[in-house]
């Protein structure tokens, strides 16, 4: 990645500049230098007064000089009077300066500023404009040919477009000496103490997932000497990522590790990333141990007996199996979704430890996601650690989720604002399915989003969900977790089964707040699965317009 000055954008920078900053950081070669947000003041001379200005980005190519770039976000237009306007995400129209003239004037001023500050011949300079949110098909008049413009599509490969810009200016090709580069940086960014990022360049989606705060990173370091730790954090605070990281660290230290959670799809997903340890849900461990010790594991056929079996009989089989297999122990047990574990399960968890005095037990949990009435045991004796910052969701989604529980969202200053949460109400099941279909059409056909980045989460059992029962919404066949995906198919699941997992976009549907079975925590669980875009479709309340009966729409 290039040398970025500063290493991170100012939190108060416009979202458009933050997006461009990230694109340049990820898309430019290592030997480029990129300076963000420079104000400059040229002293008065006998021929002119003091001259002030600013430029959004100054990019130094290793052999072709530097480029001054002005960034404009939102919708941009120019009228017949050569007046420029920008429309923001709230629909408000603002008069702006001609971005090309801004970049051109800034380039000339910086060239004047650098004279006498850099030895040797003056560096070649070029200028251009970046429209971060729109697509530009061709020239924007004689003063803005397409070659010196970068649009939202060009941000996927900014180096290629900047090389095109340099070609249009016939920029020379001669290696810039190291001392000249140093002088360039010293002249334009003299006050920054630079801390270069050490991470390798990673793709955008992975980067968003692993955006851990200093507090979260320090949490594991702070408690690494503690053998028993309870890590509490709300949805999106990175509990699962930290749980997996703790397991990896312990494996690297030569420890035997067992990773457990409540939800089987989450366990299966994490097991694909596990190296040197196994991830299963608690009940799979019960089955595994019972079969290994030949105790048998017979799940009842009668529905009314199934819940009692999983709650009581399976853990009892695990306890008996541990007595029969005294060597089946671990140096460390890591628990995710700890809030869902029943109080009487913890005795079996403690029984998995090779040594109760020296083995590790880490439990990651979120009381706000306790939808199965779990409870801790006083025998655990966990040292509490609290995670505060939401690092997975946009600010808009984090605020929506926290508001469901009448809490305040805690997000990073540099967290993306995100688009507003879409909230919609419908009168019946048929309109519910139609509302979801329209959203899918918009996201995929109009916004160009891949269907695999979308999940539909229903608040009902699938057999009672009008959305799932539709089978197909437009051109999109609905498939479940574990099913073979087909072209253009979209994942649909109950909020319970998807708990602990995440998706770029989540459409939460079949929600009825008037139902006796409605629980804000369940909606919190579902909504917080969305990282970037969230839509919530509810049934109208009775006072709104004849909502369906509770029997038809209860949140299961």
What separation in angstroms does the CA of 458 have from each of 37, 216, 332, 451, 520? 45, 31, 36, 17, 14
Nearest of 33, 39, 37 to residue 4 by alpha carbon: 33
Q: In what order do the strands lie in the sheet with 51-61?
A: 3-5, 33-42, 51-61, 65-72, 125-131, 149-150
The 3-state DSSP class for residue 69 equals: strand
Chain Cα centroid distance, residue 343: 33
Q: Which tokens is 260 given? A: 């457990």
Per residue in 254-271, is it b (16+ CB within 10 Å) or e — as a string?
ebebbbbbbbbbbbbbbe
Give the DSSP H/E element, type plus range, for residue 170: none
Distance CA 103, CA 69 (A): 6
Do 486 and 434 touch, CB atoms closer than 8 A? no
β-strand 65-72 against 51-61: which pairing, if any?
Answer: antiparallel
pLDDT for position 549: 41
Return the domain boundaries, the chain.
3-201, 205-392, 396-553
Nearest of 514, 495, 515, 513 to residue 503 by alpha carbon: 495
First to last CA, the chain: 48
Does the reported pTM lie above 0.75? no
Average pLDDT, the chain: 86
The 3-state DSSP class for residue 233 equals: strand
Chain Cα centroid distance, residue 383: 29
* 205-392 fold: Rossmann fold (3.40.50)
Is 396-553 the same fold as 205-392? yes
Candidates 3.40.1280.10, 2.40.10.340, 3.40.190.10, 3.40.50.300; CATH matching 396-553: 3.40.50.300
Nearest of 173, 151, 2, 141 to residue 73 by alpha carbon: 151
Q: Which tokens is 67 given? A: 């480029």
pLDDT for position 207: 52
Give the DSSP H/E element, type plus range, for residue 246: helix 239-252
Distance CA 250, CA 274 (A): 12
φ, ψ for residue 455, nearest 5 deg? -130, 140
Q: Which tokens is 270 given? A: 């994490």
Q: Which tokens is 32 given? A: 């480029």
Distance CA 24, CA 8 (A): 12
422-456, pLDDT tens digit by residue?
Answer: 999 999 999 999 999 999 998 888 788 889 989 99
Residue 347 burial (CB count, 10 A) = 14
166-176, pLDDT tens digit by residue?
Answer: 998 888 888 99
Q: Which residue has the tokens 């006083």?
A: 378
The 3-state DSSP class for residue 365 equals: strand
Does a cis peptide bond (omega within 30 degrees of 0) precede residue 6? yes
Distance CA 508, CA 195 (A): 41
Alpha helix (H) residue ranges in 272-428: 282-292, 303-308, 314-324, 346-351, 395-404
Do 153 and 135 touch, CB atoms closer than 8 A? yes
**Taking the chain (556 residues) in consecutive chunks of 10 residues, what is each chunk's mean pLDDT?**
90 91 95 90 70 87 93 86 84 86 88 83 90 89 89 93 91 88 87 31 37 56 83 88 91 95 93 91 95 92 86 94 93 94 94 93 91 86 86 88 89 78 94 94 84 92 92 92 86 93 92 85 92 92 50 38
């Amino acid at each position: 990645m290039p040398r970025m000055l500063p290493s991170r954008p100012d939190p108060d920078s416009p979202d458009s500049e933050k997006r461009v900053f990230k694109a340049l950081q990820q898309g430019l070669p290592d030997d480029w230098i990129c300076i963000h947000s420079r104000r400059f003041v040229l002293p008065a001379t006998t021929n002119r007064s003091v001259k002030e200005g600013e430029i959004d980005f100054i990019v130094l190519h290793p052999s072709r000089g530097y480029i001054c770039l002005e960034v404009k976000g939102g919708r941009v237009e120019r009228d017949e009077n050569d007046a420029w306007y920008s429309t923001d995400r709230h629909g408000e129209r603002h008069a702006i300066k001609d971005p090309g003239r801004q970049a051109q004037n800034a380039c000339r001023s910086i060239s004047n500023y650098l004279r006498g500050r850099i030895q040797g011949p003056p560096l070649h300079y070029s200028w251009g404009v970046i429209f971060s949110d729109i697509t530009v098909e061709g020239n924007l008049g004689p003063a803005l040919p397409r070659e010196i413009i970068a649009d939202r599509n060009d941000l996927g490969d900014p180096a290629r477009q900047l090389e095109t810009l340099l070609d249009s200016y016939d920029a020379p090709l001669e290696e810039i000496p190291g001392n000249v580069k140093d002088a360039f940086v010293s002249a334009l960014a003299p006050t920054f103490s630079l801390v270069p990022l050490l991470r390798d360049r990673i793709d955008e989606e992975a980067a968003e997932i692993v955006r851990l705060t200093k507090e979260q990173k320090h949490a594991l370091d702070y408690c690494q000497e503690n053998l028993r730790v309870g890590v509490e954090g709300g949805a999106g605070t990175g509990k699962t990522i930290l749980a997996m990281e703790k397991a990896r660290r312990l494996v690297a230290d030569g420890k035997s590790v067992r990773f457990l959670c409540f939800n089987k799809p989450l366990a299966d997903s994490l097991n694909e990333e596990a190296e040197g340890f196994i991830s299963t849900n608690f009940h799979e461990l019960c089955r595994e141990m019972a079969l290994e010790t030949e105790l048998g594991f017979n799940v009842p056929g009668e529905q009314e007996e199934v819940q009692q079996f999983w709650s009581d009989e399976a853990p009892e089989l695990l306890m008996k199996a541990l007595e029969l297999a005294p060597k089946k122990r671990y140096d460390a047990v890591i628990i995710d979704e700890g809030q869902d574990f029943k109080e009487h399960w913890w005795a079996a968890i403690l029984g998995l430890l090779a040594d109760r005095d020296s083995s590790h037990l880490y439990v990651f949990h979120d009381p706000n996601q306790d939808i199965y009435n779990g409870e801790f045991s006083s025998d655990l004796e966990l040292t509490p650690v609290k995670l505060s910052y939401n690092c997975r969701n946009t600010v808009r989604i984090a605020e929506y989720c926290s508001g469901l529980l009448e809490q305040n969202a805690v997000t990073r200053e540099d967290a993306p604002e995100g688009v507003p949460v879409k909230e919609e109400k419908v009168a019946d099941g048929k309109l519910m399915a139609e509302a979801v279909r329209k959203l899918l059409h918009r996201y995929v056909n109009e916004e160009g989003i891949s269907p695999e980045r979308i999940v539909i989460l229903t608040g009902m059992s699938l057999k009672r969900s009008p959305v799932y029962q539709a089978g197909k919404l437009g051109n999109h066949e609905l498939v479940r977790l574990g099913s073979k995906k087909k072209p253009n198919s979209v994942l649909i699941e109950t909020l319970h089964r998807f708990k602990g997992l995440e998706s770029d976009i989540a459409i939460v549907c079949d929600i009825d707040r008037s139902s006796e079975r409605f629980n804000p925590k369940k909606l919190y669980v579902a909504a917080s699965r969305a990282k970037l875009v969230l839509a919530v479709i509810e049934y109208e309340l009775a006072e709104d317009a004849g909502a369906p009966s509770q029997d038809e729409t209860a949140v299961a």
